[in-house]
Amino acid sequence: MAGRGLALIASRIIRLETVESTQTIAFDLATQGVADRTVVVAEHQTAGRGRRGHHWQDEPGAALLCSIIVRSSLPLARRSLLSLTAAVSVAEALAEVASVDARLKWPNDVLVNGRKIAGILLESRSSAESAPTVVGIGVNVGQSRFVPELAGVATSIALECGRAVPREELLEALLDHFDAWRERLERDGFDPVRERWLMLAETIGRNVRVDGLRGLAVGLDDDGALLLRDADRTHRVVAGSATTCDGAGN
């Protein structure tokens, strides 16, 4: 996938030092009418958010922290697919820039060797079809260690490769891949994205637990829901976090 050049990428980016959350800044800018594909990047977040109220922890200058403002042509009900699209884009950018074999855990975690290297947060604050969506992405780049509660479940490019890659290079690759996959999603529908996501999936083919359900993850439905098969039937899981329970993974 050809790069679009640092100059073009740079024209979209708002760079900040320490912020509470790039998501908050991005929504504030979106309400002011900034353009589609504008990206907010920060060196450090003091109140970074993850899914389901989790806190995203980072060391200053050690992670790629960005939020992308998306004014999509997709119907509002289909915009949750941007999360899976972003996950594919992160995995491909990691492979391109760091030669890391990243795998995807439903719904929006990116893993390397079973540990989380990146996460995605998709948010919208209005039910209007014209409302913007903000795609938040955090990638662990230069961390050499994590706090004890994360030491067994988190990793970074530096820990996996023995070196950190330039965050600017990773950002350029990430935006390049996300632009291409978003365009394909809006033009061709979810099938191409789903096919690529399944190729990269850590979750599919594994026994997983999502909240009160446990079964074999067998695929994704047309809206991105996880298809989970137990002894009785196949369930559609539209929210939650899949945890493997077959003796491997997280």
Is 61 in the same domain as 118? Answer: yes
Is 31 in the same domain as 90? Answer: yes
Is 47 in the same domain as 96? Answer: yes
Is 219 in the same domain as 123? Answer: no
What is the structure's pLDDT at 126?
84
**Burial code of 61-75, b = ≥16 C-beta within 10 A, e = fewer?**
ebbbbbbbbbebebe
The yes-or-no verdict on residue 250 having pLDDT over 60 is no
Record the tokens describing residue 72, joined without a space: 């999509």
Count Cα atoms within 13 angstroms, Cβ side, for 220.
27
The yes-or-no verdict on residue 169 having pLDDT over 90 is yes
Is 156 in the same domain as 216? Answer: no
CB 103 within 8 A of CB 112: yes
Is 117 in the same domain as 231? Answer: no
The total number of residues written for the chain in this structure: 250
- What average pLDDT does range 117-126 have in this prediction? 94
The yes-or-no verdict on residue 232 having pLDDT over 90 is no
Instruction: Please give the tally of structural domains in the chain.
Output: 2
For residue 195, tell me if it sits in a domain. yes
Record the tokens describing residue 116, joined without a space: 């989380």
Under the banding of pLDDT at 50, 70 and 90, the label for residue 1 is very low
- What average pLDDT does range 28-40 have in this prediction? 95
What is the structure's pLDDT at 3?
43
Cα 90 to Cα 127, 168, 183, 233: the distances in Å are 27, 14, 16, 33
For residue 250, tell me if it sits in a domain. no
What is the structure's pLDDT at 60?
83
Record the tokens describing residue 241, joined without a space: 């976090």
Is 32 in the same domain as 156? Answer: yes
- For residues 199 and 145, the model is more confident at 199
What is the structure's pLDDT at 107?
92
Q: Would you report the helix, strand and coil content of the chain in percent, each value rounded to 5?
A: 30, 30, 40
- What average pLDDT does range 188-216 have in this prediction? 95
What is the domain-level CATH number for residue 152? 3.30.930.10
What is the structure's pLDDT at 218?
97
Is 221 in the same domain as 123? Answer: no
The yes-or-no verdict on residue 130 having pLDDT over 80 is yes
Under the banding of pLDDT at 50, 70 and 90, the label for residue 230 is very high
Is 145 in the same domain as 219? Answer: no
- What average pLDDT does range 133-153 have in this prediction? 91
Is 188 in the same domain as 211? Answer: no
For residue 1, tell me if it sits in a domain. no
What is the structure's pLDDT at 208?
93
Integer Rg of the chain from CA: 17
Give the residue among 102, 77, 71 at the shortest CA–CA distance from 225: 77
CA–CA gap between residue 198 and residue 141 (Å, rounded): 25
For residue 69, tell me if it sits in a domain. yes
Q: Write the pLDDT tens digit of every residue in 51-109.
A: 545 555 667 889 999 999 999 999 999 999 999 999 999 999 999 999 999 999 999 99
For residue 249, tell me if it sits in a domain. no
What is the structure's pLDDT at 9?
58
For residue 232, tell me if it sits in a domain. yes
What is the domain-level CATH number for residue 214? 2.30.30
Record the tokens describing residue 163, joined without a space: 């070196």
Q: If you average pLDDT over every residue of the chain, what do you get?
A: 90
Record the tokens describing residue 211, joined without a space: 């909240």
The count of other CB atoms within 10 Å of the CB of residue 248 is 10
Range in 6-15, 92-101, 166-175, 200-209 the model is least confident about? 6-15
Domain that holds residue 222: 207-244
- What average pLDDT does range 128-146 have in this prediction? 93
